[in-house]
Structure 1
Amino acid sequence: MNWREIQVAPRTFTGSRTTQVRAAILLFALMINTSLATGQLPQISPRGSKSNSTSPVKVVPGNQETAKKGTTWTSFLGNRRNGISEETGLNLNWNVHRPAVLWRVPLGSGYSSIVVANGRIWTMATHLTNDYVVCFDADTGKKLWSTIAAPTYLDSQRQARGPRSTPTYDDGKLYCLLPAGDLLCLEANSGKIVWKKNIFDVSGAGQQEQKTIYYWGMSASPLIEGDLVILQPGGSNNNSVIALNKDTGKLVWSAGNDPPGYGSPIVIEAEDQRQIIVPTGQSILSLNPEQGSLLWRVVWGNKYNCNCATPVWNEESLFISSAYGTGAMRFALIRQNESLRPISQWKTLAMQNQFATSIIKDGYIYGPHGDLAAVTYRCLDLQRGKVQWMSRRVGKCTQIAVEDHIICLTEQGTLILIEANPTEYREKGKLTGLLGFKAWAHPALANGRLYLRDEKRMICLDLKKK
């Protein structure tokens, strides 16, 4: 196959199907803390992009947290943004030992997940007319401080209020992106604002929600890479993705011309090249962290610009998935003529992540598939993309993994524990009545405690073995 063209079988929607898709997106695209799509042929275009950088930027591995494994959960989908906890020795047989609820606290609207470090947890929520960043004691649930971040956000479709993205913790600071583009750097211990910027003002990108190509506000969680904080305002003039100095909020570089997506950026290293992977509204971009230069681009998306799941890197290949007819693809990154080239290994319609990111464990992919009709939970073979099994017992959910198990939180607020077993669906416990609809935020796990939230409350479960 020609590396310049990754072909995806076209799939179109007409008539009432289009109406159904639009209606479903309005209801479910908010599920983010977060394409085989519409007749387009995804193309790979490894070409350079301009940089606003005037001097080299020192780039070192992103999070400088030095705490013991399992004691922190510092970003969306965990410390490595892959949804996998490094903890061991937990209670993972809930049918025999039901986890206890350690505490419950009230919490307002919003879909931000939770981050954990140094005995504290942070998230964002709405109260009355403002969106807040809130800090709690991780052991007791006692509120330690709250900081007004921005006026309460309501999307143009009037679907829901509150923050969408998840704070990022790094070296005693919190980086919090609000739906209308307000970015705050806070002291994690006190909640004091160190600096505040609006990423639309800094980048010059238009607030595209008003152009009906981006309905539901900034949802991608900030990525810390060395001295930089990476964000995606979605401009069309070399300002789709931007890097700010994490200490000052000053613009360092900008790149790309894609509309914004809803999934969060990640950082990977392949073929001795460190790179930022960004899911935009119409592509997957790879950027050099130092200058923001474009390493490669894969066209990937649908006419709704609704790429919501975060890409997953498993040290040898990249997995991407989107719903609404888009599908999934696995591709490797190889070096050809001094340039990185993404090579498609397989593509399929059999895994379409709507708002949850898939988990890759021991050579298999686990995640929810579907959007409009009944959603099934599936296991796919990473090597071939073949379905190993599917089950209707989970439905729409968010998820994280620990040891050889996956913890799924359904949108109705039911918690389900399953084995990461490629041969069959095997349930190890189900907890009902903990939360209610809309439980759209991903779980967080640190120090033997599982943190969950919906639009009204946050709870902490004890997963330590007794």
Structure 2
Amino acid sequence: MGENSKQSPNDDPLTPAQGVERDLTAKRELTANKGAKAAQPLELAKKKFRWKPGAIIFLFGAAVLATIWFAGDWLFDSDTTVRGFALVVAGSTVCFALLLWWLFRSGLTWKSRIVGLLLVAGVLAGLKYSVRIEQFDGAMIPARVAWAWTPTAEQRAMAHFDEVGKRITESKTFELVVDGNDWPQFRGPRRDGDVRDVMLDPDWKMNPPKELWRHPVGLGWGSFAVVDDLAFTQEQRGPEEVVVAYESETGRQVWTYRVESRFTEAVGGDGPRATPTFDRGELFTLGAEGHLCCLDATNGREKWSRNILEDAAAPESEDPVENIEWGMAGSPLVTDDAVFVNPGGEQGRGVIRYDRATGEIVWANGNARASYTAPRIETLRGVEQLLIFDGAGISSFDPADGTLLWEYPWVNMPKVNAIQPIVSEDGTQVFISCSYGIGSALLNVAVEGGEWVVEPDYETSRLKIKFSDAIFRDGFLYAFDEAILACHDFETGQREWKKGRYGYGQVIAIGDHLLVQQEDPGDLALVAINPDKFEEVATFPALSGKTWNNPAFANGRLYCRNSEEAVCFELTVIDQSPEAAEELPELGEE
């Protein structure tokens, strides 16, 4: 035999049993090798998941948000509006960075990434359809949430409206005359929120406010106008804006005037914003979508009505001027023979004077975007002037013919100016203020060579009043610097004190005390009018929920409301001058 035919020791023939065993061993080895190869991609995939960058983004973002939230007073000088914007920007940036990491740097398969995004979208959709944000606070941060299937405050109030609609009472007064104890328009007879001739008993432990009545009201952010035995306000009831007259002593509904209109805005809330203006038996109201009307105050019958947004459009245009973001809010200003409003727009008709008796347009002027303040007439340098604080700043018009006398720009990012200008006692200066990181200015108004000249005596960012009007008393301003009560020297702008965290509340003055209504809940506080120090002397619970509405004080009674309910308290008065009961001059007269 040749060399190749020789057998090696390993070529020994196997028995059948040994052959079977060898085949089984070979199969087990092959299966094990395949399993190991299949496991390698999984191990590699696990190693590829780069979680550390995502964790760093999340932890860093959480630290930034926590710093903005807890150290916001120090970082932003207690400017909660700027803090709110900072939270939105920082939160959005963190979410966007996490999205980029998940899509492009996580190392997961595209299938896993898409599944993750779908899970997040599902959670967000579940929250959207199961949770309802009911209210935002003044810093535009959600303040109240509820399950989506629970009834809203408006829905809960509808049963009350249906019931009172069946038992409307007739007015007991057929001639309404304003006297010094009444509150006939926004922030009182002079629109300054200041009652000087009445002294309250500050001991609310011994003599607390006595509740006279309380009941649900429709959505709305205006206040009460109170004359004699009627209290007027505006509400949203379903698809209708409603002007309502209540008996001031009992809260019973007397009459309603209804207009098919509903202004909707998520952050500010739905419903009308303005407060009715009473003058010589007539009631003038402005709805959030521009419906201006003149009513008989004793029964609510319409005498005339207009839409100021339509009237502000160019004569040849069929489209009204675009409404501002949070709706028409400036309460109508009424004088002997005129009604003044500020619809805004760029058609030369941003400020309109109507004939009081007929509703016909007397003049129209102005090209600036409207804002949220009420018009007012003041005397500067001996000249009567109509002051309009709109989205572009403050402007002065001749109330007789609408001639623009002077203007001063005061603009913030959203073009929101929402407090009334304050004129110095000698009629030479005008104080203005806004929020959104801008602040306040005291303007010196003069006449040089027959021309009006306006220059700032100071501008400061240390007082930023968002939408709560200030009290001017004895050379000092008492106002909400964002969400904290503060006192500033009117002439210098110097801060005397800043204390009292009432949120974006409201403040009026009665005697020698500030009456403060907290934003949420709408509790009441008495604060001494004292530029030397902050002194809270009494508190009392009044309303639940967000309260942006100004309180009204008339005949020893305090009328408070928000978008859910209204309440009337009798306050203990310990002193009142005889002059307070005398009849006031007609509104608009000096």
In structure 2, the residue matched to 1:270 is 380
Structure (1 or 2) with the greater helix fraction: 2
Flag the 1:270–1:191 CA change in 2: closer, same or farther, 3 A: same
Shift in Å, 1:402:
1.2
Paired letter, 2:285 = C
Deviations 1:346-385 (A, max 9, x none): 1211111111011111111111112xxxx32110011211
SS of 2:311's equivalent in the other structure is helix
Q: TM-score, structure 2 length as denominator?
A: 0.66
Deviations 1:261-280 (A, max 9, x none): 11111110122210010111
Residue in structure 1 matching 2:446, options 330, 334, 341: 334
2:406 is equivalent to residue 307 of structure 1: no
Shift in Å, 1:461:
0.9
2:555 is equivalent to residue 447 of structure 1: yes
Deviations 1:177-202 (A, max 9, x none): 00111111110000001111111222
SS of 1:136's equivalent in the other structure is strand
In structure 1, the residue matched to 2:502 is 394
Residue in structure 2 matching 1:164, options 269, 273, 284: 273
Flag the 1:366–1:293 CA change in 2: closer, same or farther, 3 A: same
Q: Tell which deviates more after alignment, 293-302 or 143-152.
A: 143-152
2:462 is equivalent to residue 350 of structure 1: yes
In structure 2, the residue matched to 1:185 is 294
- Higher Cα radius of gyration: 2
**How big is the alpha-carbon RMSD for the aligned residues of Structure 1 and Structure 2?**
2.6
In structure 1, the residue matched to 2:569 is 461
Q: Distance in 2 between matches of 1:120 and 1:273?
A: 35
In structure 1, the residue matched to 2:283 is 174
Paired letter, 2:302 = I
What is the aligned length?
A: 410
Q: TM-score, structure 1 length as denominator?
A: 0.83
In structure 2, the residue matched to 1:237 is 347
Q: Distance in 2 between matches of 1:367 and 1:151?
A: 34
In structure 2, the residue matched to 1:381 is 489
Shift in Å, 1:399:
1.1
In structure 1, the residue matched to 2:434 is 322
Q: Distance in 2 between matches of 1:233 and 1:29?
A: 25
Shift in Å, 1:465:
3.1
Shift in Å, 1:115:
0.4
Q: Distance in 2 between matches of 1:248 and 1:392?
A: 47
Shift in Å, 1:118:
2.2
Flag the 1:458–1:168 CA change in 2: closer, same or farther, 3 A: same
Shift in Å, 1:175:
0.7
* Percentage of matched positions with identical amino acids: 30
**Structure-to-structure mapping, 1:44-443, within 5 angstroms:** 67-69=178-180, 71-155=181-265, 157=266, 159-204=268-313, 207=320, 209=322, 214-316=324-426, 317-370=429-482, 375-412=483-520, 413-432=522-541, 434-443=542-551
User: Is this contact kept in 2: 1:209–1:217, CA < 8 A?
Assistant: no
In structure 1, the residue matched to 2:86 is 17
SS of 1:201's equivalent in the other structure is helix
Q: Distance in 1 between matches of 2:544 and 2:320?
A: 32
Q: Distance in 1 between matches of 2:546 and 2:269?
A: 10
Deviations 1:22-43 (A, max 9, x none): x9x986499xxxxxxxxxxxxx
In structure 2, the residue matched to 1:41 is none
User: Is this contact kept in 1: 2:219–2:236, CA < 8 A?
Assistant: yes
User: Is this contact kept in 2: 1:29–1:308, CA < 8 A?
Assistant: no
User: Is this contact kept in 2: 1:123–1:167, CA < 8 A?
Assistant: yes
Give structure 1 regions of 4+ aligned residues with deviation exceeding 3 angstroms. Answer: 13-21, 25-30, 65-68, 205-210
User: Is this contact kept in 2: 1:122–1:167, CA < 8 A?
Assistant: yes
Shift in Å, 1:150:
3.4
In structure 2, the residue matched to 1:36 is none
User: Is this contact kept in 2: 1:94–1:417, CA < 8 A?
Assistant: no
Shift in Å, 1:96:
4.1
Q: Distance in 2 between matches of 1:457 and 1:335?
A: 49
User: Is this contact kept in 2: 1:87–1:448, CA < 8 A?
Assistant: no
Paired letter, 1:318 = V
